[in-house]
Amino acid sequence: LMEAHPCEKESFIDKVWRYVNEIDFVAQKKMEKFIQYSQIFVCLVSFAISYHFQSFQICILIQLGWALLLAAFTLFGCPWLKTNELKWLPAEVPEEYQLEEEDDKKKA
């Protein structure tokens, strides 16, 4: 079994980036719906509150605050968003490379 070239190996930074950045497709769909529905709900609530206080600024501040809160919780791939890990298939090695490995085995 050939060892990967050092530039192709997964480094610590790659592992951290994958942990922070990746979520599975099921969680992505759930979060997308949650974000859409929660934004609509917050828009309606903030409009009602700002209408009551007669201040459009309150409406904007509530929506901005909610958007920042959503970004803090959904921008990075949190552990609760990784419930359905991907199952990668083994890589298919082209025939030209397989022949070289078989030739090496025959010589040995």
Report the distance separating Cα 97 and Cα 34, nearest Å: 47
Q: Which DSSP string do the residues of 65-83 spell out, in sequence order?
A: HHHHHHHHHHSS--GGG-S
The amino acid that residue 99 corresponds to is L
Nearest-Å Rg of the Cα atoms of the chain is 25
What is the per-residue pLDDT for 67? 95
What is the per-residue pLDDT for 1? 54
Write out pLDDT tens, residues 45-102: 999 999 999 999 999 999 999 999 998 888 777 777 777 777 777 778 777 777 654 5
CA nearest neighbour of 85 among 22, 4, 33, 41: 22
Farthest CA pair distance, the chain: 86
pTM: 0.60
Indicate the SS3 state at residue 98.
Answer: helix
Write out pLDDT tens, residues 14-39: 878 777 777 778 888 888 899 999 99
Q: Spell out the domain ranges in the chain.
A: 12-81
CA angle (87 as vertex; 94, 21 as ends), nearest 5? 105
